[in-house]
Chains A and B, each alone.
Chain A
Amino acid sequence: MNRRKFISKTVLASMASALGMDIVFGSRLPKGLLPLGLSKQDPFELFSKDKDMILLNDRPYNMEARPHQLDDDITPNEYIFVRNNGLIPNEVDVENWTLSIDGESVISPKTYTLSELKTRFTSHSYQLTLECGGNGRSEFDPPPKGNQWSLGAVYCAKWTGVRLKDILEDVGIKSDAVYIGYHAADSHLSGDPTKEAISRGVPISKAMMEETLIAYQMNDQDIPLVHGYPLRLVAGGWPASASGKWLERISVRNIVHDGEKMGGTSYRVPCSPVAPGESVADENMCIIESMPVKSLITYPKTGAMISDKKLSIRGHTWAGENSVIKMEYSIDFGSTWKECDLKKAPNRLAWQRFSAEVEFPQEGYYEVWAKATDSDGVSQPMLVPGWNPKGYLNNACHRIAVKVS
């Protein structure tokens, strides 16, 4: 029995068990449901990713970069991490693709075609940092469940589109609006057509920010399919799951959006700190908003052996809604810190470039640690920060290994 056949049976089975009856759904399954997630195509080729990316999971596809691959100021597609909660839509009908705005807090719902969006509103471009809420999960102890991301579920691409704010103003929203929630064309992993894979969102204040885009281009080209073609909500500086791919509809809500993966332990952390491994009741979990201050050494690649006692290092730093005001490095495990050269961001919510000339006192094994401090005076911890059930928000200092001979 080939994989596709047994998967489709499994999918039918899970639907049958969910609905409590046997169903012949096969004929009703949307065309795009199975193939991409399940075929044995090479995901690196499929998504035009560099062969050195790390494949964490092939069903659903989840892939991350190695830190040295993230050296560009604007991350090219080949190094952009892939995170899917559901199955990628197989066929995208661009001609008939629409974006609808509805929900309790719109005066009346409205629908736009892609060309209406592009012609009726002014387009804007921003470089926006998107990081998976679970980036760094693999370092938590006890290990939380989920994809075991290490360092590379982050990037900063250039996004072009229209401001969500402009669209919402065109539609007209009521004063009781508190949140927006997205709805998209991906499908639930089990294949159940009655369920959404993910439907998250942001508070209305974030939705109304200038940099919050309904994007139709990434890095001056159509958005790659795996990153949300043809339309994506992009909310830089927040967990990347807030930036809904394959966007079809935005609901303006008069309550905190209650879509799939807005509740439970999904993208939420304990409202007050807990001991490692502790169970946390749902009502004591709070939604992650702005991501914490963090940095990555993107040059050189870890494991460098040098004969000279000098080394140039560089990387990127970001701090959610904040900016980074100080960047330091240490070669003695934090005993002493030296300041790096730090550039301003090209625009708000883009990562910032840092660089430094490191000098080593003698031969031996070293680790170069990097530490950023944000505009609130908050720094990265050297240790893994507060444990939480799903292992979010690990912003511990990045370090690379260097041998001097």
Chain B
Amino acid sequence: MKSSPKKEFSNQLDLINGLILSIFVVLLLFLGVLGYAIFDPSFSRFSGFFNADSDEKNEFLAEVESEEVVDGIHVETGFIDAPGMVATIQNCTGCHSSSLVIANRMNEERWIETIRWMQETQNLWDLGENEKVIVDYLVTNYPPKKIGRRANLENIEWYELED
């Protein structure tokens, strides 16, 4: 049976409505994802969802091999044993040694700058919530020392100089 022009028009209208609705839904989803990406660009919260193996990332972190602590110092790395140390070992000592971290004394702003530089040029990953943990650990335990324009000579090993 041939449909009347009116019915055909109504069918087409339904089709167009459906199309508009689906475009709208897709757009909304896209905006949602985009909005989320602003806050979590690496989608770290979904890493388990997108990854077949949700522990994949943890496996890549450097491991704390020994928990031995003497006089408040973690023997294996030389780090001060304090909150945030484990995250610091895991995320920082994969590419360079702990001594490089310990030797550097910076405030929060400059540590974050350094992390950004490592992310831009050295393939450091997004640290997510650990960024604050690590930066807090560093500025608390390794604060910048005021040494002024020229410090005293220190740790001089005195010895008898023979002629």
Contacts and interface: CB of A to CB of B under 8 A. Distances in A.
Interface of A: 1, 3, 6-7, 9-18, 22, 56-60, 138-139, 141-143, 145-148, 188-190, 192, 195, 260, 264-265, 300-306, 308, 311, 367, 382-384, 396, 399, 401, 403
A56 B103 CA distance: 8
A383 B149 CA distance: 6
Contacts of B103: 56-57, 138, 147-148
A367 B153 contact: yes
**Chief secondary structure at chain B's binding surface:** loop
A145 B114 contact: yes
A308 B148 CA distance: 34
Contacts of B132: none
B7 interface: no
Given A9-B60, A264-B117, 15 more contacts: A11-B95, A12-B60, A13-B57, A14-B60, A17-B125, A139-B150, A145-B114, A148-B103, A148-B104, A188-B122, A302-B153, A303-B157, A303-B159, A305-B161, A367-B153
A146 B104 contact: yes
A190 B122 contact: yes
A146 B121 CA distance: 15
A11 B94 contact: yes
Contacts of A188: 122-123
B106 interface: yes
A384 B61 contact: no
Contacts of A302: 153, 156-157
A296 to B, nearest CB: 15
A22 B59 CA distance: 13
A401 B156 contact: yes
Tier of interface size on chain B:
35 or more
B153 A189 contact: no
B70 interface: no
Nearest 10 pairs of A and B residues by beta carbon: A13-B60, A10-B94, A190-B123, A304-B161, A14-B123, A59-B97, A17-B125, A148-B103, A383-B149, A303-B156
B159 A301 contact: yes
A281 to B, nearest CB: 13
B153 A399 contact: yes
A305 B104 contact: no
B99 interface: yes
Contacts of A396: 150
